[in-house]
Chains A and B, each alone.
Chain A
Amino acid sequence: MHVLLGLEGSDESVETLETTIERVLETGDDLLVAVVDKPEASRSPSAVVDLAKARLEEADIDAEVRQLEGDPGSELVDLAEREGVDQLVIGGGTRSPMGKVRLGPVTEFVLLNATTTVKLVR
């Protein structure tokens, strides 16, 4: 399966990266990683690119890591269509202090607009 993993600079994205790496090691899926720019995130896009490359190398996975400019949701959906991927993987929401799951506007955009299957990682 051809999988596109969308990351931004949150802790949630780092966990999503780890979970996806574990999955790819089991399945041998063909992975493409795209890093989007979400200004309020704690890590910069280039820091996330470096982190993803380092983790993929450690796991001995050969995957391209791309940095996307512009609106995160629409860039991910566009790339998924252009590359004809089978699945678009993104983080499954942050938790409020109360423990409520919060899905942000990027997640909502992707869920409503993607023409591929979308996987939320929790």
Chain B
Amino acid sequence: MREHSSRVYPEEPCGPFPTPPGTYTDPEGREIALSVVTHPEDTVRGVADGERTPIDVLTDMYQQFDPADRAQGIPPSSEDRIRRWLEPLLENGVNVVASHDGSVIGHATLVPDTDEPASLTAPGDVEWELAIFVLQDYQRGGIGTQLLEHLLGHASSLGIDRVWLTVERWNGPAISLYKRVGFELCGAESFEQEMSILLGAGV
């Protein structure tokens, strides 16, 4: 059931992209681990406390998120709202986290663009919406690009091909980053700019 879409995708597929797990040393010499969140109940590689689930460690991260870095209403600000926002992302989405010294400091996620995620059999049947978040102290050091590329590599290995996002139209640095990786502008002119990428099969 390939759902109807009016979104335009680039003709040429992009890739290959690196797949997690991976490591990256940022310009300040910090060792960053990039890992897939495999299941809502599993522990996250690179995160110190093995007793805590992904939603716990990600809630911690989003509670430290600078409110000034929020975009288009996400992430929400209170713990309760953060958890309710994360639940469907972890249940139905594809998630890669960046961690440093045992704490999650970045998160990249893909959410299926469907009203019935539970009945989704082939990931390539739907489009996926992408978002990336990096804590302020770790921004501008290439971690966002690493998260983005590892998420796209992992998505491609799962059979996902169409990925889109929206970004605030005045957010030039983010638009440049997405363009470097292969996203192209698409969609209506509004406060938000839509961008899309077509992923090549496999890696």
Contacts and interface: CB of A to CB of B under 8 A. Distances in A.
Contacts of B71: 100
A103 B112 contact: no
Contact of B111 (A98, A101, A103, A104): A98
Interface residues of A, number: 12
A27 interface: no
A68 to B, nearest CB: 21
A39 interface: no
A105 B187 CA distance: 11
B131 A108 contact: no
A95, A101, A104, most chain B CB atoms within 10 A: A101
B73 A100 contact: yes
Contacts of A104: 188, 190
Interface residues on B, range: 20 to 34
A99 B73 contact: yes
Specify the main secondary structure of chain A where it touches its partner. loop
Contacts of A99: 73-74, 76, 85
A97 interface: yes
B72 A102 contact: yes
B190 A96 contact: no
Nearest to B188: A105
Given A102-B72, A102-B166, A97 B111 contact: yes
A95 B74 CA distance: 10
A42 to B, nearest CB: 12
A98 B113 CA distance: 9
A100 B113 contact: no
Interface string B104-147: 00000101111000000000000001110000000000000000
B189 interface: yes
Contacts of B184: none
A76 to B, nearest CB: 16
